[in-house]
Amino acid sequence: MNTDRPITELLSSGRSLLSVEFFPPKTEAGGVQLLEAAEALKPYRPDFVSITYGAGGSTRERTFRYAKILREQFGWLVMPHLTCVGSTRDELLEIVAGYHADGIRNIMALRGDPPKGTDTFVPSPDGLRYASDLIALIRENFPDMCLGAGAYPEKHPESATMEQDLIHLRTKVDAGASFLTTQLFFDNEHYFRFLHACRSREIHLPVLPGLLPALSLSQVQRFGPMCGSSLPRALVEQLHVVDEHPRAAEAVGVTWAYHQIRELLRHGAPGIHLYILNRSSAAITLARSLERNDHSSNHA
């Protein structure tokens, strides 16, 4: 059995990391799409890939299965997500034990969203209430696990204030989080301000910025509010102009993300986490253009 490297080791290498996020598909066709995207991304060698855990804990088996496939068939470092939703403490420990036995040493530990149609998160009987509880549980039982946690540059939608959110973030850090990945944002100022707020509260973990290369106006208008991420007017206007033309809209989204990435890396972000929704094309264009840019800047 191979034991994975903790992502914290990569984060401390000083190299800009590239990670991409997959979701475990429900259908056979979706599975084919995921594998095609993974195959297309192979030459760009992401430093790690994460696999989400479906709403309501509905993807327990599928998250496990695709984590295994991406790790074993593609040789990638994987970070399955795990949420508190729909599981008891013992069930959560059992899931982590399964990953640990397979040699997986990186998990993104989250609370999860309330099930569709409800606004309030209610923990399962004998379950956990907050991500910090899950982090503490895993840390206690599997001290060698590297644990990612979620962070919200525009604050978590349920938090009344950013200050409150940061207090709760501190609890996650104290419980044993190893690094943070952000919710998607389209304006880097949110990330820079958030980072400053973290550092001034002695939260010194690496904060990997999460970006969504937009595909269309309707997509960002759906995802933005859902994630509590604001939409810059300029992006909305640019997407509006090309609304009837999916390829042009994708180009707008990729160009926007490209400029975000360049600025983030120039200002010391430890890498980039791309929400790719099981599609490879935007990630490939970004990986290519960034590579070319890095290459040309080496020779400047």
- Residue 1 CB burial class (10 angstroms; 0-12, 13-18, ≥19): exposed
What is the C-alpha end-to-end distance of the chain, expressed in Å?
45
Q: From the CA atom positions of the chain, what is the Rg in Å?
A: 19
Report whether 263 contacts 188 (CB < 8 A).
Answer: yes
Q: How far is the CB of 300 from ligand FAD (least distance, A)?
A: 34
Report whether 146 contacts 8 (CB < 8 A).
Answer: yes
Any contact of residue 171 with ligand FAD (CB under 6 A)? yes
d(CA 62, CA 79): 14
Q: How far is the CB of 156 from ligand FAD (least distance, A)?
A: 4
Any contact of residue 81 with ligand FAD (CB under 6 A)? yes
Any contact of residue 168 with ligand FAD (CB under 6 A)? yes
If we measure between CA atoms, which residue out of 18, 16, 9, 10 comes closest to residue 210? 18
Q: How far is the CB of 229 from ligand FAD (least distance, A)?
A: 10
d(CA 215, CA 2): 37
Of 87, 132, 216, 278, the one binding ligand FAD by CB under 6 A: 132
Cβ proximity to ligand FAD, 71 vs 81, nearer residue: 81
Q: Is the dihedral of CA 120, 182, 68, 103 positive or negative?
A: negative
Size of the site for ligand FAD (CB under 6 A): 24
Of 113, 123, 231, 255, the one binding ligand FAD by CB under 6 A: 113
Q: Is 163 a catalytic residue?
A: no
Any contact of residue 188 with ligand FAD (CB under 6 A)? no
Any contact of residue 191 with ligand FAD (CB under 6 A)? no
Any contact of residue 156 with ligand FAD (CB under 6 A)? yes
DSSP3 helix / strand / coil % (the chain, rounded to 5): 50, 15, 35
Of 60, 105, 111, 190, the one binding ligand FAD by CB under 6 A: 111
Report whether 209 contacts 185 (CB < 8 A).
Answer: yes
Any contact of residue 181 with ligand FAD (CB under 6 A)? yes
Of 47, 102, 165, 250, the one binding ligand FAD by CB under 6 A: 165
Report whether 84 contacts 111 (CB < 8 A).
Answer: yes
Q: Which two tokens stand for residue 137?
A: 């549980």
Which span (50-58, 69-77, 263-271, 292-300) binds ligand FAD, by CB under 6 A?
Answer: 50-58
d(CA 246, CA 217): 10
Any contact of residue 190 with ligand FAD (CB under 6 A)? no
Any contact of residue 158 with ligand FAD (CB under 6 A)? yes
Residues tagged active-site: 21
In the complex, which residues of this chain contact ligand FAD (CB under 6 A)? 52-53, 55, 81, 83, 108, 110-113, 130-132, 150, 156, 158-159, 165, 168, 171-172, 181, 183, 210
